[in-house]
Amino acid sequence: MAIPYGRQSVDEDDIAEVVRVLRGDWLTQGPDVAAFEEEFAAACDAPHAVAFSSGTAALHGAAFAAGVGPGDTVVTSAITFAASANCAAYLGATPVFADIDPVTWNVSAETCAAAGAARARAVIPVHFAGLPAPIAEIRAAVGDGAAIIEDAAHAVGAHVDGVPVGSCEHSDMAIFSFHPVKTMTTGEGGMVTTRDPELRDRLIRFRTHGIVAAPDTPGEGGWFQEQHDLGFNYRLTDIQAALGRSQLRKVGGFVTRRNEIAARYREGLGDVDGLVLAPPAPPGSLHAHHLFVVWLEAGADARRALYDRLRAAGVLVQVHYVPVYRHPWYRETYGYAPGLCPDAERYYAGCLSLPCFPALTDAEQDHVIGEIHAALGA
């Protein structure tokens, strides 16, 4: 049986919660959405959380709430899923790419500054693979001129010195994804946390067509509503929120198991020459380990050979990610060319994501480790 790089963990408690909603009166935007938002905000130690239909929608909403528009630039990591940059393009702004730190594979204050973050409307640092990015340092380097939107799609359950990712201590907003391969799932879904009630209100309007109830308008009644923004239907359903609430209660266990898997990879692969293992979290912080990435010093040809061999052996490894600016749409639209971010290019040439999810068994992981040893001669 094939071993995927990621897979959801859904149990009978999760199913029962979804069935409870299906048997009730509300299917969309009912009490479970509100409860999910409240519980997620509390888990992140943030005052506000706004649910969205996907992590991509959450990014779009956060960029809108930050005032991103035509003529603006938005800085994000070169190594991320395209949605981290697309949210700027959706609003007519220009995505600009910061190189990664070759040790952490996250952006740094220095790489964001070099990409022009101080002149940007927003900066979107990515907590790549679940390793917390240096948000406090980025805020200090950028100043208050740019909004900071943490892309925490990989980092549910991570923390820095005990402060949860998503608390927004040093940022304006943080976005999360609940896709099935992430730490927790709602099927599809996303969330934005913030400390700013005005941003919360803009987010709520944006996910609901830009429409707000206005029953006190003179001459109107309880039915009356007005569109204040050009928003979208980015609403999460109560069905998804019920699953999310159940999954949220298990995040601690999910993250603990992911870190156990990461530790077994470090023990089992630490002696393989030419194989660099995913950077650990610094002391006092917690890595969410959405991904466990290894990097082959030998480069692209060696990575392709290992990828093909592992896939043939039923180990469905993946590559995260092609530098965003190398995608055809970005090349054709903005004129970006290969080589823009040298450390991102070097990382991409050798990276490979190994299976890492709570239900991965020790026997399955031993199979992965054994195949890598056999392939690389260690």
Query: Which tens digit of pLDDT belongs to each residue from 280-298?
Result: 999 999 999 999 999 999 9
Select from 91, 47, 39, 27 the least CA-distant residue to 65.
Answer: 91
Which tens digit of pLDDT belongs to each residue from 167-189? 999 999 999 999 999 999 999 99
Q: What is the tally of helices (H) and strands (E) in the chain?
A: 13, 16
Percentage of residues in the chain having pLDDT higher than 70: 100
What confidence score (pLDDT) does residue 216 get?
87
Distance in angstroms (rounded) separating the CA atoms of residues 328 and 326: 6
What is the fold of 3-248? Aspartate Aminotransferase; domain 2 (3.40.640)
Which tens digit of pLDDT belongs to each residue from 48-84? 999 999 999 999 999 999 999 999 999 999 999 999 9
What confidence score (pLDDT) does residue 378 get?
56
Given the residues 60, 127, 182, 245, the one annotated as active site:
182
Select from 79, 80, 78, 76 the least CA-distant residue to 88.
Answer: 76
Domain boundaries, the chain: 3-248, 251-376
Q: Categorize the per-residue pLDDT at 217 as very low, low, confident or very high, splitting at 50, 70 and 90.
A: confident
pTM: 0.96
Task: Spell out where 125-269 has E strands.
Answer: 147-151, 159-160, 163-164, 173-177, 190-194, 211-213, 225-227
Task: Indicate if 250 belongs to the active site.
Answer: no
Q: Just give the CATH number of 251-376.
A: 3.90.1150.10
The contacts of residue 147 (CB under 8 Å, 6+ apart) are 66, 67, 68, 121, 122, 123, 172, 173
What confidence score (pLDDT) does residue 299 get?
87
Distance in angstroms (rounded) separating the CA atoms of residues 275 and 277: 6
Share the mean pLDDT of the chain.
96
Q: Categorize the per-residue pLDDT at 332 as very low, low, confident or very high, splitting at 50, 70 and 90.
A: very high
Percentage of residues in the chain having pLDDT higher than 90: 93
Distance in angstroms (rounded) separating the CA atoms of residues 90 and 319: 26
Residue type, 158: A
